[in-house]
Structure 1
Amino acid sequence: MIPAASLFSLCSTIALLGWVALAIALFAPRLRRATWIGTGLVLPALLAVAYIGILAAGLAGGAKGGFDSIEAVRSLFADDHALTAGWIHYLAFDLFVGTWIARAGIGAGISPLLLLPCLVLTFLVGPAGLLLALVIGLSTGRLGLETRP
């Protein structure tokens, strides 16, 4: 098993590369399909595998804590395996959401220049980027909660 600190760094690097590719694809239509498959399916799936593995290692190692109180969550995340699992959870979901923002935004005809700050915020502070994308989409009347096939 890969040590938690190494898995943390590896997954962070993989996600960062995905985010860079996603940002580039906003301005490079020929790269979009392959990038969106990578950032919306492949990388989140790989991160999910890493998440399950590190979570299992933490549970097998006797990680204490839970989700029923802030004290229990603090105790849970005192374990490096659980903390790394939580980080990978963010990496996978934020990249998936970023891909949705890019796909839905481009599909709705929103300028890549408006979508780029949404991606940056989603990368840095996930829900804030999603909120900005929704505000832009709803204020332009071009992006709702639905996606096109």
Structure 2
Amino acid sequence: RKTTTTTTWACYQKVVRDARNKFFSNIITASFGNQRVLYQTLNAVLSASDHHSLTTSDALCTQFLKFFLGKIASIQAQISSPYVTSFPEPILHRSLDNFDLLSLSSLENLLSALKPSGSPVGPVPPHLLKETYSVTVTAALML
């Protein structure tokens, strides 16, 4: 089973490989007949060059770590205030003291209109309401 990381890595490798192939294909197409350029391109493809590789050391890793920790610290310093979660008190324009009785047909229409996934903040999942409808319908109509 492939995880998202391995799938993403495989996709990245394919994109890089395709871009590299297109790059060299464009050079070969543009240099058709120029033997010197074609030979240099072929030599670049076949010769593994070590001058592009980095040597890893504890000092380089520490420098890399300090760079990113510094970036994180500067971003944290730029954040002025934490997220405020307080909300103003709602103003009630009228009281809710009169409700129409729920009919069987309106309850059925309401349940049929529910999406199966529901809402993450909903108290009861819609599929549970639909599955227990036959048992709970009489109690729901008496509320």
TM range (shorter): under 0.3
Q: Which structure exhibits the higher relative contact order, with contacts defined as CA atoms closer than 8 Å and separated by 6 or more residues?
A: 1
TM-score of the pair, normalised by structure 1: 0.26
Higher helix share: 1
TM-score of the pair, normalised by structure 2: 0.27
Larger radius of gyration: 2
